[in-house]
């Protein structure tokens, strides 16, 4: 009937310039994430096992079941180390369940795996994992446990906690004979269709009577004939834990299809079962039950997802509601900063930057750079003294900013992606202080614990994700496609010992405590190694003693290997730590040691920012993996003063000059050389250095030497700099002297011919007297010399055209 109801539908689940950046690290090498601020562990979804996860969490948060299971020692269950040994009696299912519960309670990881447990069930394929829905699984799991515990002191564990009986009675109207039959149950299945809620459904089942009359009569065994009779059912024995399965799924015989009943179906937090019981003489407390778990199904008949709302009876988790805490924080800040409204609000600036980003998250280093561009001053200069480093400030506001798993990228949490609204514009946003002395597993300081009545802490456990909820949120699961599917009640009389409150180690066997302690130590070690690897960066140290400054940049005087030292450091170390490490690497160093960020350019090595502030971390300077650091005295290199910074960045230009004549007319018609100039050099200075008097300069930043790509730099450009006119490394500059300017159309500002196509005409005056014979050379394009042309220029003067190849053409 259920078909592929238990097939899970995931459609609704939300799916620096100083170096190379952070080293990549394979995801499978990273240890599992630690628990979040709730201090509760979720369970990984193997792919369709959300129904199993919901039921396992319900059993875990049933303290009496958990402790009864832990009370069974190795002497009764055996040990997992003995699996496969001949003659060894190992009860694998309860052992794996014990181990999973210990991990969920004590292991510092965000989510535990159920792989070992499902393998103990014999579920080794996806098909076997998808064959049950959660109501069926509840019965199958209890049956498997009962079978595994036969012959142990826990043989009656399931019956003791979950077993109840219903008595069915038929009363003969004539002889008053009562026919009784008892039925056992581990869970009660109640109707949803046409019923307003749980209490009405129980009333219909255990208070209302069914009558046999007219043509529908009952054969009485005492009367031995068909008689009128009444049929009723009562709860005979109530278990400590009452499990109720709701019939949400039905079959429409007219349409011949399944459907999910999504109408409103209410159920109480507390319920009195006296009206539904056979014996009603006891005190009311004997019949009172309290809701502690609601397994929820989201979806339809042909697929969906399970998660569970659970009441934390032993208060093992840290419970608080984020929206309430946000309001308290804002109110507190409003009071504390009433007299500081003129202060700029860094939170608003950071939030505004992230709102403008198309990507959900950006690197923290990039955020710092955008912050600088936004307010024209760096975070370190303006806010570090008041709020600390940028990364620390972001981590102190976990209610607003969300980090990627490796904590190298940051974005806004979903609810803060709306425009920022505040009644205290311009106030500094402070982190709430830790209260109650609570120690948290996460580095992010969670909000203060909300005051709440004991035992009313509810959580939504949705596979790996755990979050606190309000008790009134349960009402949202009365109806709709996402609605309650199984209800779990516990007797109100069941009280927990004070020593169990907030104590996840309570009643856990010593061998499991030791195993979890060892596992946590190993996890901490792996996290420390992973953290160190994620934060380690390789720096290239360039020593000034091995460099010379010439042609506008720094160049090694020795080989690269001898001039550069490799050093691996932790980016969280301070600049002072780095300086000390360099001192230790160096055999000797005289005078001050200044560290500057550097960058290899086509022209050579160039220096940028001087790293200042020994107390600051390397991360504050934006140093990433592969960054270059220049070690010098801060003034000069080999006696030459070095200008640092982006304004003095050297630009390598290709300088082209026309050749006066090329024998045979073949090959290149220009010479090419490379020159280096600071990017702040004015074009007038460039012109003075390269072009002769009366000469002109053309630039080409496209890389293609066709005539259309050359642009003349006119007189009005001379006040601009190399950088502002767009000249960068590798750009070409053509220098033309005065007699080569026939190639240029000054009015359009473009070159009229491709430099490879240039030819020359040799002109000789044969018309004058012998002592006045002169030779003149003029430039011409290919089109100009394609045929012989003779003109009378002036009386007695003729031009004889020479082609670009061969001798003079005969005179006509």
CATH number for 263:
3.90.70.10
Q: What are phi and psi of 120, to 5 degrees?
A: -70, -25
Residues 182, 313, single domain; the answer is yes
Q: What is the pTM of this model?
A: 0.66
Residue 540 counted as domain residue: yes
Our answer to whether residue 767 is catalytic in this structure is no
Please choose, from the candidates 85, 81, 78, 100, the residue with its C-alpha nearest in 3D space to the C-alpha of residue 148.
78
Q: Tokens 């053509």 appear where?
A: 734
Q: What's the length of the chain?
A: 812
Q: Report the alpha-carbon distance of residue 432 to residue 326 in Å, rounded.
A: 10
3-class DSSP assignment, residue 458: strand
Q: Report the alpha-carbon distance of residue 642 to residue 266 in Å, rounded.
A: 79
Q: Report the alpha-carbon distance of residue 631 to residue 543 in Å, rounded.
A: 5
pLDDT of residue 611: 93
Structure tokens at 775: 């030779």
Residue 809 counted as domain residue: no
Residues 185, 229, single domain; the answer is yes
DSSP one-letter string for 554-610: EEESS-HHHHEEEEEEETTSBHHHHHHHHHHHSS---S--EEEEEEEETTEEEEEEE
CATH number at residue 580: 3.10.20.90
Residues 35, 150, single domain; the answer is yes
Neighbour-count burial for 559-591, b at 16+ CB within 10 Å, e otherwise? eeeebbbeeebbbbbbbeebbebbeeeeeeeee
pLDDT of residue 282: 93
Q: How many CA atoms lie within 13 A of 116 on its CB side?
A: 15
State the residue range of the domain holding 772.
760-798
Please choose, from the candidates 125, 106, 103, the residue with its C-alpha nearest in 3D space to the C-alpha of residue 114.
103
Residue 20 counted as domain residue: no
Residue 42 counted as domain residue: yes
User: Contact at 8 Å (CB) between 720 and 683?
Assistant: yes
pLDDT of residue 452: 42
Catalytic option among 50, 301, 546, 731: 50
* Terminal Cα-to-Cα distance of the chain (whole angstroms): 109
Residues 150, 284, single domain; the answer is no
Residues 312, 180, single domain; the answer is yes
Q: Tokens 């965000």 appear where?
A: 110
Residues 87, 189, single domain; the answer is no
Residues 333, 249, single domain; the answer is no
User: Contact at 8 Å (CB) between 226 and 206?
Assistant: no
Catalytic option among 297, 305, 397, 687: 305
Q: Which stretches in the chain have pLDDT values below 70? A: 1-29, 124-132, 322-344, 358-359, 405-406, 414-455, 660-669, 702-708, 738-812
pLDDT of residue 148: 93
pLDDT of residue 24: 52
Residue 1 counted as domain residue: no
Domain end call among 616, 648, 680: 648
Residues 41, 155, single domain; the answer is yes
Our answer to whether residue 29 is catalytic in this structure is no
Residue 524 counted as domain residue: no
Residues 104, 166, single domain; the answer is no
User: Contact at 8 Å (CB) between 66 and 104?
Assistant: no
Non-local (6+) Cβ contacts of 376 within 8 A are: none
Structural domains of the chain, count = 6
Residues 268, 386, single domain; the answer is no
Residues 222, 104, single domain; the answer is no
Residues 420, 492, single domain; the answer is no
Residue 11 counted as domain residue: no
User: Contact at 8 Å (CB) between 305 and 298?
Assistant: yes
């Amino acid at each position: 009937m259920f078909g592929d109801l238990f097939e899970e539908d995931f459609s609704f689940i939300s799916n620096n310039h100083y170096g190379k950046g952070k080293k990549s690290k394979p995801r499978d090498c990273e240890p599992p994430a630690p628990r979040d601020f709730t201090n509760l562990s979720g369970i990984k979804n193997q792919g369709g096992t959300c129904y199993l996860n919901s039921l396992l969490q319900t059993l875990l948060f049933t303290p009496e079941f958990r402790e009864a299971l832990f009370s069974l020692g190795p002497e009764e269950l055996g040990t997992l180390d003995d699996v496969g040994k001949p003659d060894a009696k190992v009860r694998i299912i309860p052992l794996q369940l014990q181990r999973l519960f210990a991990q969920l309670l004590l292991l510092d990881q965000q989510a535990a795996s159920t792989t070992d447990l499902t393998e103990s069930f014999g579920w080794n394929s996806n098909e076997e994992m998808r064959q049950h829905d959660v109501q069926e699984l509840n019965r199958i799991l209890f049956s498997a446990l009962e079978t595994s515990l036969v012959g142990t002191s826990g043989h009656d564990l399931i019956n003791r906690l979950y077993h109840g009986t219903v008595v069915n009675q038929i009363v003969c109207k004539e002889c008053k004979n009562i026919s009784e039959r008892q039925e056992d149950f581990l869970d009660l299945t109640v109707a949803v269709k046409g019923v307003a809620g749980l209490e009405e459904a129980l009333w219909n089942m255990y208070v209302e009577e069914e009558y046999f009359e007219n043509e529908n009569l009952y054969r009485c065994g005492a009367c031995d004939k068909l008689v009128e009779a009444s049929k009723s059912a009562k709860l005979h024995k109530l278990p400590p834990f009452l499990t109720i399965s709701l019939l949400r799924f039905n079959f429409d015989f007219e349409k011949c299809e399944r459907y999910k009943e999504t109408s409103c179906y209410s159920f109480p937090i507390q319920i009195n079962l006296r009206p539904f019981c056979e014996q009603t003489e006891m005190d009311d407390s004997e019949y009172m039950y309290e809701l502690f778990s609601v397994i929820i199904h989201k979806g339809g008949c042909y697929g969906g997802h399970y998660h569970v709302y659970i009441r934390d009876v032993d208060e093992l988790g840290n419970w608080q509601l984020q929206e309430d805490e946000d309001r308290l924080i804002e109110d507190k800040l409003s009071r504390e900063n009433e007299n500081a409204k003129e202060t700029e609000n860094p939170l608003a600036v950071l939030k505004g930057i992230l709102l403008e980003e198309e990507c959900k998250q950006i690197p923290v280093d990039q955020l710092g750079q955008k912050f600088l561009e936004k307010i024209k001053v760096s975070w370190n200069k303006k806010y570090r003294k008041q709020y600390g480093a940028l990364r620390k400030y972001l981590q102190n506001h976990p209610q607003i900013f969300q980090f990627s798993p490796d904590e190298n990228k940051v974005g806004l949490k979903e609810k803060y992606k709306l425009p920022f609204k505040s009644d205290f514009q311009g106030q500094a946003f402070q982190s709430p202080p830790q209260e109650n002395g609570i120690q948290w597993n996460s580095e992010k300081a969670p909000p203060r614990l909300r005051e709440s009545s004991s035992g009313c802490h509810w959580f939504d456990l949705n596979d790996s994700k755990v979050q606190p909820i309000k008790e009134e949120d349960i009402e949202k699961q009365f109806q709709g496609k996402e609605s309650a599917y199984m209800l779990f009640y516990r007797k109100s009389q069941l009280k927990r010992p004070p020593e169990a409150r907030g104590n996840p180690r309570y009643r856990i066997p010593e061998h499991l405590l030791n195993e979890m302690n060892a596992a946590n130590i190993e996890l901490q070690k792996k996290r420390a190694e992973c953290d160190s690897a994620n934060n380690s960066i390789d720096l290239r140290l360039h020593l000034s003693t091995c460099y010379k400054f010439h042609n506008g940049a720094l160049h090694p005087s020795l080989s690269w290997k001898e001039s550069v030292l490799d050093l691996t450091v932790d980016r969280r170390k301070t600049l002072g730590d780095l300086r000390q490490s360099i001192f230790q690497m160096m055999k000797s160093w005289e005078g001050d040691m200044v560290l500057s960020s550097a960058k290899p350019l086509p022209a050579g090595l160039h220096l940028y920012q001087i790293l200042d502030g020994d107390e600051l971390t390397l991360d504050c300077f934006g140093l990433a993996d592969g960054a270059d650091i220049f070690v010098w005295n801060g003034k000069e290199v080999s006696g030459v003063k070095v200008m640092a910074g982006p304004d003095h960045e050297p630009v390598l230009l290709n300088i082209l000059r026309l050749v006066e004549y090329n024998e045979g007319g073949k090959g290149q018609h220009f010479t090419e050389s490379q020159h280096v100039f600071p990017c702040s050099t004015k074009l007038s200075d460039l012109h003075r250095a390269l072009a002769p008097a009366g000469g002109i300069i053309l630039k080409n930043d496209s890389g293609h030497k066709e005539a259309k790509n050359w642009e003349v730099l006119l007189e009005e450009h001379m006040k601009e700099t190399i950088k502002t006119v767009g000249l960068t490394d590798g750009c070409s500059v053509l220098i033309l002297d005065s007699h080569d300017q026939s190639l240029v159309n000054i009015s359009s500002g473009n070159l009229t011919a491709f430099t490879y196509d240039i030819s020359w005409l040799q002109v000789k005056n044969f018309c004058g007297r012998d002592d006045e014979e002169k030779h003149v050379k003029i430039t011409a394009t290919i089109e100009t010399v394609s045929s012989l042309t003779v003109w009378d220029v002036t009386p007695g003067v003729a031009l004889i055209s020479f082609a670009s190849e061969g001798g003079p053409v005969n005179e006509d």
